[in-house]
Amino acid sequence: MSPNWLPHWGKPKENPPSEPEPAPAGPAEGDAHQPAASEGQGGAKLTMPISADVILEALKEVEDPELGISIVELGLIYGVEVDDRRVRVRMTLTSPGCPIGPMLQAAVHGTVTRVYPEAEDVRVDLVWNPPWDPYKMASEEAKDMLGIW
């Protein structure tokens, strides 16, 4: 459950109440944001786990609000592990005293649960080793935006 104060990047877009809810069409072939489903015994749907790459791609929409740059592009995501219906995201912050750390953790958690609602356990762990270094960890695009040549 996402807190009400969570910025837009961690919340799914909602349909206005006046519009009817669209009928689920099922995942399109190659749609990376939908877990694959198949029929199990007795017609029950079985959902396959989502890949770490799909989660990492979805996390690109989470931005550091102070810098306006994706936390993935900044190199703040150190790893995503998916084990069945358990997801662990290891991330860091631009500094240990970063005041928006809890907000970023909540945004990451909200994004993972949005793209993989079948997840039974989502952990977002802050790690400090290795220390974040934008010269080594940020993408070239993020370095340009930060003025790092």
pLDDT in tens, 62-119: 999 999 999 999 999 999 999 989 999 999 999 999 999 999 999 999 999 999 999 9
Write out pLDDT tens, residues 12-69.
434 434 444 444 444 444 444 444 444 444 444 445 668 999 999 999 999 999 999 9
Q: Where are the alpha helices (DSSP H) in 60-132?
A: 71-74, 101-115
Q: Cis omega (within 30 of 0) on the bond before 130? A: yes
- Domains annotated for the chain, with CATH where assigned, are 50-143 (3.30.300.130)
Tokens of 69: 């740059």
